[in-house]
A and B are shown apart, each in its own frame.
Chain A
């Protein structure tokens, strides 16, 4: 990281420089307590880093601050310049001088820069747009963020880094006093990230309070004046940068006990036979940024009966690894793979080819890629194996129903009967249906992406038990998960990914949340 801190005095906590204060924020979603008491103070002229694991509650907190969750749908209190703040919509946040630059940019690619900046608050007179005025103000805002572009340039033609600057320019034109940046550098090249961080610093020197979310520790320590750490929906520590070290931030992020369920050690692996899957220099070009890699030089071997965990933060390449293995990668792949000690071969062209070789993928997006919600459970279970039930060209519905019922029972699916639509089941039971579909293909290599996301504790334990059972039966399992205790409990080894690369593969005796998080947050 080339960007370095300039020597200057950080603002210190006092009554008259508090821009925004959140006290005891609580937010309950159906089945999940997303925020369980968050305190946060943003000062004028500071860069305030917000750190936490996936699921710690960062996104929920940001949404409340940006007015996306209306006042009253959460507990606790917000105050702005000492006055109580009740926001019901993002427009209220605008009015309060709070601007959010979201991770997924909220720009319309087909419109020009100035049209984007004034979208929804266009300047007009007698119903006609005042384009010269808007162009002038846009140019001024672009100058402030150091973006040398014509206001008429179409946003889609800009790089992601420049689009990010357009978002910030938009916030500045709205006279935002509090700028919230959600992982602003996640999609940027190193040079663009440095430029952005320099801009954030200079904005803070002009008195703007910046709330800065990042997973990159180097960056956090280079840019921010204070750090607040969230864990399990609570703020567990907050203070000036001088009170923190990288190690203490990571410790605060992960410092919880292992759940009893996940702590059961997996059975030993017999390493006698050939690995069921080996990867060599497995790389994939980033689907939307052609000059970057989504996966770079991944190498590992997976043995029969082994559970290999894949850890990493959002965007580290976990999902890309699993989908590309299954022949469903969204861009150009290179590298080779080898199955059961056979010849090295090129990546699979499509999921059909991967299935023929005994692979199965339970994808992270259950509703998007796993289930046909309008179809019955019977059909969802049989979807990948319909050919098996053909008798002289016709489907043998009796055999199909019998098999589906048998496997649904062995996985303890709870449903009135198997003719109901998949959309009517709970998350845990839906996940079991997806598992059932793939078990029907008799896989030897099972790829699981977030197998327990959004599933209640009981069903989660059942699915963990099933995964162990599959491995004991000789299946090789690759589990990607953002749930660290889950990975630590289930896996024989854990591969930690960051920025599309494999950082380290940990053996069970070296397992710890700290070790994983250190590797995952290294840049």
Chain B
């Protein structure tokens, strides 16, 4: 029934091109298991954030405070361990609750008071940056080892195989139906491929596992719940959603609250991966996440976008970063190339859609 999504194919093709190019220019270093494992760990934080950003943009909203909320909550989790003497799990819970509270308050400002989300979250970005600076006093906070393992641990090889097999089995089960079968077969092959790849190095990095779990959860939320489909309707045509009885304000508040939680999770993984919470942690994360979502086919006008597309978009961005570092390209080239790719991807998408 469903036609093959040319957009998905196009993106996979573009990613393959980027990878082949880097593989050639780096004499194969780019495609070594070690480099790909590091690449995946580098992209995990952006990819986690982008799952939430997709929901926000699909509902026709925007969140510019993702990075600063991530920084704030990451620091809060670290300080929960060091200052309050909490265990790792309670500290994480505290940080996620903080993220939820922050998201909730921004959602209320947007949905109940009608302040444009751009303004609310721009203000929020500045406020949370300030609070973070005040909390850390500009000093890095090093959380205990148990906390750092979240960002640095690798899963054992059998466990990695287990994850791959579960992914493969699920994909094959989905592929029994006709529509989108080729994608699910590809996903099944991909699960096995990824297990082999990661086990050729040290196993699946924990941040990557968290990213995959989060993306799966958000894919289900977006495509397989009434809540998710209502967000697409709100972003696609707010009036039609209103007339169809969708409680718009409540849905938007929920989206911003979820975004707050996701930002907090991304911040926690970020803190654990870099090894410390600093006052400028998470800077520009929101822009990377938005760029990843947009490259992955999310429309800033709302109503259109997919979680896995955004993960692909994050992969493209991270591959560019990683590949250019391997080539010892001077650092200033990275933002220039990423910016150009962002504009080019959206232009190509628009042109293609007009022709259709």
The answer to whether A372 touches B245, judged by C-beta atoms less than 8 angstroms apart, is no
On whether A384 and B229 interact (CB within 8 A), knowing A397-B224, A417-B1, the answer reads: no
Q: A-B pairs with CB below 8 Å: how many?
A: 83
Asked if B226 CB lies within 8 Å of chain A CBs, one says: yes
Asked if A128 CB lies within 8 Å of chain B CBs, one says: no
* Chain-B contact segment, one of A4-12, A53-61, A387-395: A387-395
What CA separation (Å) do A393 and B233 show in the bound complex? 18
The answer to whether A386 touches B230, judged by C-beta atoms less than 8 angstroms apart, is yes
Asked if B241 CB lies within 8 Å of chain A CBs, one says: yes
User: How many residues belonging to A are interface residues under a CB distance threshold of 8 Å?
Assistant: 32
On whether A379 and B229 interact (CB within 8 A), knowing A372-B236, A419-B2, the answer reads: yes
Asked if B147 CB lies within 8 Å of chain A CBs, one says: no
What CA separation (Å) do A371 and B232 show in the bound complex? 12
The answer to whether B237 touches A394, judged by C-beta atoms less than 8 angstroms apart, is no
The answer to whether B226 touches A389, judged by C-beta atoms less than 8 angstroms apart, is yes
The answer to whether A379 touches B224, judged by C-beta atoms less than 8 angstroms apart, is no
Asked if B349 CB lies within 8 Å of chain A CBs, one says: no
What CA separation (Å) do A413 and B222 show in the bound complex? 27
What CA separation (Å) do A328 and B230 show in the bound complex? 19
Please give, as numbers and ranges, the residues of chain A lying within 8 Å of B236 by CB-CB distance.
372-375
The answer to whether B237 touches A419, judged by C-beta atoms less than 8 angstroms apart, is no
Please give, as numbers and ranges, the residues of chain B lying within 8 Å of A350 by CB-CB distance.
242, 245
Query: How near does chain A come to B7, taking the closest CB pair, in angstroms?
Result: 13
Asked if A370 CB lies within 8 Å of chain B CBs, one says: yes
The answer to whether A379 touches B225, judged by C-beta atoms less than 8 angstroms apart, is no
Asked if A248 CB lies within 8 Å of chain B CBs, one says: no
Asked if A368 CB lies within 8 Å of chain B CBs, one says: yes
A-facing mask of B209-232, CB < 8 A → 1, else 0? 000000000001001111011101
Asked if A286 CB lies within 8 Å of chain B CBs, one says: no
Q: Which residue of A lies closest to B2 (CB)?
A: A419
Query: How near does chain A come to B236, taking the closest CB pair, in angstroms?
Result: 4
Asked if A429 CB lies within 8 Å of chain B CBs, one says: no
The answer to whether B226 touches A368, judged by C-beta atoms less than 8 angstroms apart, is no
The answer to whether B2 touches A394, judged by C-beta atoms less than 8 angstroms apart, is no
Asked if A38 CB lies within 8 Å of chain B CBs, one says: no
- Residues facing B in A349-401 (CB within 8 A) are 350-352, 355, 361, 363, 365, 368-375, 379, 382-384, 386-387, 389-390, 393-395, 397
The answer to whether A387 touches B226, judged by C-beta atoms less than 8 angstroms apart, is yes
Please give, as numbers and ranges, the residues of chain A lying within 8 Å of B239 by CB-CB distance.
365, 368-369
Asked if B303 CB lies within 8 Å of chain A CBs, one says: yes
Asked if A493 CB lies within 8 Å of chain B CBs, one says: no
The answer to whether B225 touches A383, judged by C-beta atoms less than 8 angstroms apart, is no
Please give, as numbers and ranges, the residues of chain B lying within 8 Å of A390 by CB-CB distance.
225-226
The answer to whether B230 touches A363, judged by C-beta atoms less than 8 angstroms apart, is no
Query: How near does chain A come to B303, taking the closest CB pair, in angstroms?
Result: 4
Please give, as numbers and ranges, the residues of chain B lying within 8 Å of A384 by CB-CB distance.
244-245
Asked if A27 CB lies within 8 Å of chain B CBs, one says: no
The answer to whether B1 touches A375, judged by C-beta atoms less than 8 angstroms apart, is no
Q: Which residue of B lies closest to A417 (CB)?
A: B1
Contact of A394 among B224, B243, B304 (CB under 8 A): B224
Q: Which residue of A lies closest to B228 (CB)?
A: A395
Query: How near does chain B come to A301, taking the closest CB pair, in angstroms?
Result: 25
The answer to whether B242 touches A394, judged by C-beta atoms less than 8 angstroms apart, is no
- Residues facing B in A190-225 (CB within 8 A) are none
Asked if B247 CB lies within 8 Å of chain A CBs, one says: yes
Asked if A492 CB lies within 8 Å of chain B CBs, one says: no
The answer to whether A393 touches B303, judged by C-beta atoms less than 8 angstroms apart, is no
Query: How near does chain B come to A167, taking the closest CB pair, in angstroms?
Result: 29
Asked if A437 CB lies within 8 Å of chain B CBs, one says: yes
Asked if B4 CB lies within 8 Å of chain A CBs, one says: no
The answer to whether A351 touches B245, judged by C-beta atoms less than 8 angstroms apart, is yes
The answer to whether B240 touches A369, judged by C-beta atoms less than 8 angstroms apart, is yes
Query: How near does chain A come to B258, taking the closest CB pair, in angstroms?
Result: 15
What CA separation (Å) do A379 and B237 show in the bound complex? 13
A-facing mask of B1-27, CB < 8 A → 1, else 0? 111000000000000000000000000
Q: Which residue of A lies closest to B220 (CB)?
A: A394
Query: How near does chain B come to A409, taking the closest CB pair, in angstroms?
Result: 15
Contact of A328 among B3, B226, B243, B247 (CB under 8 A): B243
Please give, as numbers and ranges, the residues of chain B lying within 8 Å of A371 by CB-CB distance.
237, 240
The answer to whether A395 touches B229, judged by C-beta atoms less than 8 angstroms apart, is yes
What CA separation (Å) do A281 and B237 show in the bound complex? 33
What CA separation (Å) do A320 and B295 show in the bound complex? 43
What CA separation (Å) do A372 and B303 show in the bound complex? 8
What CA separation (Å) do A386 and B223 show in the bound complex? 12
The answer to whether A375 touches B224, judged by C-beta atoms less than 8 angstroms apart, is no
The answer to whether A363 touches B224, judged by C-beta atoms less than 8 angstroms apart, is no
Q: Which residue of B lies closest to A400 (CB)?
A: B229
The answer to whether B232 touches A393, judged by C-beta atoms less than 8 angstroms apart, is no
- 9 A-B pairs whose Cβ atoms sit less than 8 Å apart in the complex: A351-B242, A368-B239, A371-B237, A371-B240, A374-B303, A375-B232, A375-B303, A386-B226, A386-B229
4 A-B pairs with least C-beta separation: A386-B226, A372-B236, A384-B244, A352-B245
Q: Which residues of B contact A (CB under 8 A)?
A: 1-3, 179, 220, 223-226, 228-230, 232-233, 236-237, 239-247, 299, 303-304
